[in-house]
Amino acid sequence: MAQSTGSQKAWGGVFREPTDKRVEAFSQSVSFDKRLADDDIDASIAHAKMLVACGLLTVPEADAIVAGLEEIRVDIAAGRFEFTAAKEDIHLHIESALTAKLGDTGRKLHTARSRNDQVATDLRLYCRRAIDRLDRGLIELQRAFLGLAIREQGLVIPGYTHLRRAQPVLASHQLLAWCEKFARDRERLADCRKRTNILPLGSGAMAGTSLPIDREHVQQSLGFEGLAANSLDGASDRDFVCELAFVLSLAAVHLSQWAEEWILWSTEEFGFLRLPEGFCTGSSIMPQKINPDVLELVRGKSARMIGNVQSLLVLMKGLPTAYNRDLQEDKEAIFDSIDTLEAMLGVAAPLVAGTKFDHTRVAATLERGHLDATSLMEAIIAEGVPQRLAHEAVGHLVRLAMTRNVSLAELSDEEFCREYAGWNGSLRSALGASRAVERMVSFGSTAPALVADQMAVWQRRLDSASEA
């Protein structure tokens, strides 16, 4: 027969037997949900003030509760607070400590609330704060990319599709592409924040409460945008957790894509970039190695964040309406995703800021791969030649240049005329990587003037974001 601990049940009353020690260890969550302490205290203070306004607590009782909660906050921050598996979560720890200080007054704090809506409220507060921090981190990363784009104005680099040389682009244009991706991540965070910022407190365990509470009072105190309209859903909704995990995983995927590109670009084979050595590591056996380990870890950590999304969705898929204890398992996954993305952003921004392009290496390889072929084709199209015919003619010219191991510009006028009867000397202005870049005119393209405009736009956007 199982040995029992002799400890009292967390919620007393109906039970005749104490909780088995092994169950305490198995079901505890305080080892990871203690990070919700500030959110639990903030929500409890708002709840206590509402109870006073509704006549369910006296002013002296509420003042004592608030003072006691603030003392507990200080003790937790100072490392003086004792955590134990017997008090399974942070919510019971704080309530027990408050009761130890105030007796029956402390026991009144849980009036008109359940641990179900309490946990849901705390988690929303935590996720809301995390969203704001991560948004600031993404802004800093965008600033780093913009700063590098400004420093590298005018530098033309090969652009790639299928990891094959395609068309020339400004390095600044390539760098601003990452600002666009992270802007979408910020938009998704802001949108997710709207659905996170709904107050469930007052939903009770599932059906609400018969006591005369004022949910709007708590809503305003805690800065929520709205109230959960259905108590069954309010106490158990974790859509916002799943959504946030996805948003963070997509941001991590963007970081992984950037890391992969820069790992390639910093190889000897490419040689486009020089990474800051403070963000690289060496080899235990090969003295010459300068490895891009930070970028590799950024790329690798995205995998666990993708896994967290799947874990949360699988957790949710079989749950019936209202709260189920399975939902305790939501926290470790979302905490990990938040922590991981914060860590990734913490190293990404300074790494970008410290990276330099190797202009000599880029210039030495820029004319390889016939990057100006599309520019020549479009110049021929501009003379009235159908696109398919122009494409075919330039394709033949590229094949000839490849056979001779020369650039298109090194072909003779006679050779051009054999493939395009309308050849004239003015078409040579379309040849060369730098000229190809300068000929772009469409909005959003790599045209130098347009890229300069975009850098100015991004400067204003990021300045405005910092002021908000």
Q: Which of 4, 31, 283, 466 is catalytic?
A: 283
Please confirm, yes or no, whether 283 is among the known catalytic residues: yes
Residue for token pair 């400890």: 7
What is the pairing mode between strands 273-274 and 356-357?
antiparallel
Token pair belonging to 84: 């134990």
Cα–Cα dist 85/96, whole Å: 13
* Residues 252/344, Cβ–Cβ less than 8 Å: yes
* Residues 207/223, Cβ–Cβ less than 8 Å: no
* Residues 140/349, Cβ–Cβ less than 8 Å: yes
Helix (H, G, I), strand (E, B) or coil at 448: helix
Contacts 24+ apart (CB under 8 A), 371-374: 371/158, 371/159, 371/165, 371/166, 371/167, 371/168, 371/433, 371/436, 372/168, 372/407, 372/408, 372/409, 372/430, 372/431, 372/432, 372/433, 372/435, 372/436, 373/397, 373/398, 373/408, 374/166, 374/167, 374/436
Token pair belonging to 24: 């305490």
Q: Which of 7, 91, 93, 162 is catalytic?
A: 162
Please confirm, yes or no, whether 162 is among the known catalytic residues: yes
* Residues 182/458, Cβ–Cβ less than 8 Å: no
Strands (E), 231-368: 273-274, 356-357
Helix (H, G, I), strand (E, B) or coil at 156: strand
H-helix or E-strand containing 148? helix 115-151
- Residues acting as catalytic residues: 162, 283
